Structure 1
């Protein structure tokens, strides 16, 4: 039987972190940040079997 695990971590802009960069890193993809005007590219990251982003 499979076991499910959920880990939630907060990203604070006041600490100098970017939610867009964190999402790109976790999904090993390219995401453009409209607020900063930067492109976050983590496609070279290994070990990601599948990735999908759910947005409202």
Structure 2
């Protein structure tokens, strides 16, 4: 279950951004969070894995 996994602050912010605007792109999120889009994509992959 996802709640058992400790999310980083950035991962939590990614979840909130997606909730606010489901069609947001990794690039847009990377600009908002001041990280590379690769970092955002890696976080999203981690979050998807945690959800399984």
Class of the TM-score when normalised by the shorter of the 2 chains: 0.3 to 0.5
Structure with the largest fraction of strand: 1
Higher RCO, 1 vs 2 (CA within 8 Å, ≥6 residues apart): 2
Q: Provide TM-score, normalisation by structure 1.
A: 0.31
Name the structure with the higher helix share.
2
Structure with bigger gyration radius: 1
